[in-house]
Amino acid sequence: MSITRRSNILDPFDGFPFNQSLFSFPRPSSSLSFPSNTCAFATARIDWKETPEAHVFKADLPGIKKEEVKVEVEEGNVLQISGERTRENEDKTDTWHRIECSSGKFLRRFRLPENAKMDQIKAAMENGVLTITVPKEEVKKPEIKSIDISG
């Protein structure tokens, strides 16, 4: 395997006998121009844990302000988290050497269990982490009634 240098970008696929009809990925270019609808951020990473009191969601959203995020509840116990990270405006005098920070819209949906208290959901954003707390209804223990035995 050979790694060839092309204008500050390593191309690990250079030299491989790929059939272009099978592998039609976009190849790196020296201009580093990406389409404005690049949506690599579409898979916002979200953790969901259940505690005895609530369902807790934590979303890593670095660089996004709380005004750029929407948390919504839909019919059927569906929690929806959406937003958009906009790319930095490119100045024609700037020379980009690497673009790794993703941008674009994201949308995640979660069907919540029946015991979720949909009217008491709370959300908070701190240090690029969105925390959504969905309280749970208390599980009612079946009432046991003793019956006296006569005789």
Topology, domain 38-86+103-135 = Immunoglobulin-like (2.60.40)
pTM, 2 dp: 0.62
Mean pLDDT confidence for 37-53: 74
pLDDT in tens, 50-109: 999 999 999 999 888 899 999 999 988 999 999 988 777 777 888 878 877 777 889 999
Look at residues 30, 57, 65, 59 and name the one whose alpha carbon lies nearest to residue 43.
59
Euclidean distance between CA atoms 66 and 120, whole angstroms: 19
* Domain ranges across the chain: 38-86+103-135
- The confidence score (pLDDT) of residue 57 equals 97
Q: Which of 5-14, 95-104, 134-143 has the lowest mean pLDDT?
A: 5-14
